[in-house]
Structure formats: structure tokens, C-alpha cells
A = this chain, B = another copy of it.
Amino acid sequence: MADRPRGDSNKPITILHVARAAGVSKTTVSRYLSGQYHLLSEETRQKIESAIAALDYRPNQMARGLKRGRSGLVGMVVADIANPFTVDVLRGVEDECKRCSMNVLLCNTGNDPEQEREYIFMLQAHRIDGLIINTTGQNNAFLKALAHDRTPIVLMDRKVPALPFDTVCVDNRQATRAGLMHLLEQGYRRIAWFTEPVDGISSRAERVGTYRRVMEQHTKGGTDDVFVVNVRVPGEVETALATFLSKAAGEAPAVCCANAVVALRVVEGLNTLGVRVPEDVGLVSFDNPDWAGLVCGGITAIEQPTYALGVTAMRRVWARMQAPQEMPPELIELPARLVARGSTVRAAIRPESG
């Protein structure tokens, strides 16, 4: 790897310089760059190869993209990059992008529709070849316009019925049911659902909905212990927990958290209140963050196939890029996996309490 093989002229190296250096035309070099080796003599190929190496030439993607009508860029618009769920999906997307020689343009909206709109605007300007989006659901017209340009769009984690796009997410009904059934099997009877405001976000809605349905089937009173909390307001989670626990005292209570962000606050709250897990209350959470094993004797987790979600979403984008013919939009729901840990081991505490 020579340090600075090119001359000291500060002019960027173009395909023309390579052509001259190799003693061929730029067309020939272009063919080499596109991998059309069958159109080149071995000798020519060699000459071009060394010329490129000697000049340290990099094809200009902007020029390339302008001409070919493809940027090589995929937009990834996420609601909250601080959420480990998002990061894991992103890893999947990125790894899959490598295989297609694509790059990821990352946009974090913070769940703000206006931010989202601005980002979509910029991504359109960059002529992204595909978009994977965790949308607020407030910019459907923008998204439809993008799709009209034949840009493949995949909704991730959040469904929007109004949009005719591929959607990749976890099977929220199966996942939620798995967590709740586990709690019931462990002997917990009064189960609360802690969630952030639903706000039309499909994953949150589906989870609460399933919670209600399962609880209706499996408990007598049909109690509806849904607690909607704003995790950024200090004390809100504690208040909710206290309310629930006083109502549910003696009824074998458990808490189910709709995601890891909520779970973090719930564990904090339980610590603050001096409530023990699983002795005083059972605990299950969606997502399986790296710290889940460290607290409450290990939190029983409903683990989403995050990485696979990312890979799948990107594959979908890629597939549509290759095959522009009309494929009907597809809903892909991946199964979750229950990771049982100490936070739901009610049996183990029976001897002490009974």
C-alpha cells in the first residue's frame, strides 16, 4: 500500500487519467469497473488494473450514480437510535448492505414527525435506492411519493395499514402471549402491562391488545391493569407501580414491560420502592438487553429477532431493487423467543411464603 502514489497535483483522479495511464479509452476502463471482464483482453485488464492501483483511483459514485440512476445508498430512518433494539436491527441492515455493496444513510428522528419529514426529504434528494423505516406514521404522503419513484420501502417494527409497503416486524401477538402464558404458568395471577403511550404505534397497540385478550381469557375478574407511562417523567413509573402493587397485594402480582426502555425504569422503580423480584412481584420484559441477566435474578425476556429483522428488511429492499415488476406488498412477522430467567420463578419462593 504505497503512501501517495499519485502526483502532487491536487486534481482528483478520474477515469480519464486511468485510461491514459493504461493506454486505452475510458469506455474500456468503465467496462473494467463494471466487471464486464468478458469484454476485455487479459492484457488490457492487467494494464487497467495496474493503472488504477498506481493512481490510487476511486470511481466517483456521484457520477456513476447520476448516470446509472442508482446511488448505492439505503436510507435507514429510526425512531430512537438510543434504544438497543434499534441498534441491533441496524447491525442487521448494515451487514446485509455489505453483501450488496450498499451503504447506509442513518437518520434518527426521535419520534418527531417533522424531523422524519425533513430526513425523508434529504434522502429523496440523495436518490436512495431503498428505505427502511420505523415510522411515526405521520408522513404517509411523503412516503407514497417516494414509492412512486419506484424506490423500495420497507416498514420496520411499525405497520401502517394505509401504506402498501413490505413490512417486517416481530409477531407481537405470539410474543406477548408467550410472555403472559409463561407468567400464568409460573403461578402469577394478577398481571400488569407497562407501556409507553401507544400513539398509534402498531407494535405498542398490538401488544396491549393481546395483553387484554389474553387476560380476558385467563382471569376471572377481567381486570385491566394497563399502565401507560412516560419514561421521561421522574416518578411516574414509581407511582404506577405503587398503585398496582397496592391493588394487587396478595394476588400473586407480576409486571410485564412493553419494551426494554420501560423495563429499565420499572426495575429502578421497584428498587426505589424496595419491592423484591421475584419474591414480591414477577417481571417480564419485551426485548433482551445485555443487562437483563444482571438484575432481579435475571429478567425473563421476550427476545425479538432484532438482527434478523434488519437482515430481512434489507433483503426485501434488495429483492425489489432487482425485480421492479409488481410484487404485492408482504407482511413478514418473525417469531420471538422467550428467555426464562429468575424474575419469574415463583415456584422457588413458595416454600418460604407458604
Binding site for B on A (CB under 8 A): 1-4, 6, 10, 12, 56, 58-63, 65-66, 71-73, 81-82, 84, 87-88, 90-91, 94, 98, 101, 103-108, 118, 121-127, 141-142, 144-145, 148-150, 264, 267-268, 271, 289-291, 293-295
Contact = CB atoms under 8 A, between A and B. Distances in A.
Q: 9 closest pairs, A vs B, by CB?
A: A291-B291, A1-B141, A62-B66, A106-B106, A58-B124, A61-B125, A61-B126, A62-B65, A62-B62
A91 B87 contact: no
A60 B291 contact: no
Contact of A126 (B56, B62, B127): B62
A125 B58 contact: yes
A321 to B, nearest CB: 16
B66 A94 contact: no
A105 B108 contact: no
A4 B105 contact: no
Contact of A291 (B10, B82, B107, B295): B295
A59 B105 contact: no
A264 to B, nearest CB: 6
Given A66-B63, A91-B82, A106-B106, A56 B145 contact: yes
Contact of A127 (B56, B62, B107, B144): B62
Given A60-B127, A294-B294, A295-B295, 12 more contacts: A2-B141, A3-B144, A58-B124, A60-B66, A61-B125, A82-B88, A82-B91, A98-B118, A103-B107, A268-B293, A289-B291, A294-B295
Contacts of A295: 291, 294-295
Contacts of A105: 73, 103-106
A125 B59 contact: yes
A271 B291 contact: no
B127 A108 contact: no
A1 to B, nearest CB: 4
Given A4-B148, A108-B91, A268-B293, A62 B71 contact: yes
Contacts of A88: 82
A49 to B, nearest CB: 15
A268 B290 CA distance: 11
Contacts of A125: 58-61
A89 B66 CA distance: 32
Nearest to A70: B62
> Which of A3, A12, A126 is most buried by chain B, counting CB atoms within 10 A of its CB?
A126
Contacts of A123: 103
B142 A1 contact: yes
A55 B109 CA distance: 26
A10 B149 CA distance: 7
Contact of A106 (B62, B66, B104, B127): B104
Contacts of A101: 122
A264 B103 contact: no
Contacts of A59: 125
Contacts of A56: 145
Contacts of A10: 148-150
Given A58-B121, A148-B4, A106 B82 contact: no
Nearest to A139: B1
19 contacts: A1-B142, A60-B127, A61-B125, A61-B126, A62-B65, A62-B66, A62-B71, A81-B94, A87-B87, A98-B118, A103-B105, A104-B106, A105-B106, A106-B106, A264-B291, A264-B294, A291-B291, A291-B294, A295-B295
